[in-house]
Structure 1
Amino acid sequence: MKIIRSKDYTADTAWGALDIAEMNGITTRLHWTDQPYIWHVNDGEEVFVVLDGAVDMHYKQAGDIQIVRLGAGDIFHATIGTEHVAHPVGEARLLVIEAAGSV
């Protein structure tokens, strides 16, 4: 059993992560960041939950870049093939659920 207080979590580097669980090839990780990630496409689907802070999620749809601001409690579901990049607005804490070993 684990109890994790996400608002207390910080990492030494941007996108540092605390592994919470791996179940049937799916990982759940708590990330802390204050810097953008990189444009990428996951190996499978990804569920991205903002726990604290805000994130501008950039994603490509029909070749055009779209941007949506996600706040605490908001969820972004990247389907297979969705190219995207997260840009935190200041510090953010995120829960990411994805296939183990995904980018």
Structure 2
Amino acid sequence: MKIIRSKTFTAERAWGALDIASMNGITTRLHWTDQPYKWHVNDGEEVFVVLDGQVQMRYREEGEEKHVLLEVGDIFYASVGTEHVAHPQGAARILVIESAGSV
């Protein structure tokens, strides 16, 4: 059993993570960041939950770049093949659920 206080989690570098669970090939990680990630496509599906802060999620649909501002409690689901990049607006804590070993 674990109890994790996400509001107090920080990392030594942007996108540093605390591994919470690995179940049947799916990982759950808590990330802390204050810097954008990189444009990428995951190997599988991804669920991205903002726990603290704000994140501008940029994504491409049919070659067109779009964006949405995610607030605390908002969830972004990236289906297979969704190209996306997260841009935190200051420091943010994010719960990411994805296939083990995904980008």
Please, which runs of 5 or more residues in structure 2 have no aligned partner?
A: none
SS in 1 for 2:7: helix
Letter in 1 for 2:28: T
Give distance in 2, aligned partners of 1:65 and 1:6. Answer: 31
State whether structure 2 residue 40 is matched by structure 1 residue 40. yes
What pairs with 1:1-103 in structure 2 (closer than 5 Å)? 1-103=1-103
In 1, distance between residues paired with 2:81 and 2:59? 11
Q: Distance in 2 between matches of 1:68 and 1:62?
A: 16
Give the aligned CA root-mean-square deviation in angstroms.
0.2
Distance 2:44 2:2 in 1: 27
Q: TM-score, normalization: structure 1?
A: 1.00
Q: Report how far residue 21 of structure 1 moved.
A: 0.2
- Aligned mates of 1:21, 1:49 — CA distance in 2: 15
For residues 51-74 of structure 1, what are the alpha-carbon distances to aligned partners after superposition, in whole Å with 9 as ceiling and x for unaligned? 000000000011100010000000
% identical aligned pairs: 75
Q: Per-residue deviation at 1:81?
A: 0.1
Structure 1 gap ranges (5+): none
Q: Following TM superposition, where does structure 1 have runs of at least 4 consecutive aligned residues deviating by more than 3 angstroms?
A: none
Distance 1:7 1:72 in 2: 12
Q: Secondary structure at the match of 1:17?
A: strand
Listed one character per residue, the Cα deviations across residues 26-80 of structure 1 (whole Å, up to 9, x for unaligned) are: 0000000000000000000000000000000000011100010000000000000
With structure 2 as the length reference, what TM-score do the two structures score?
Answer: 1.00
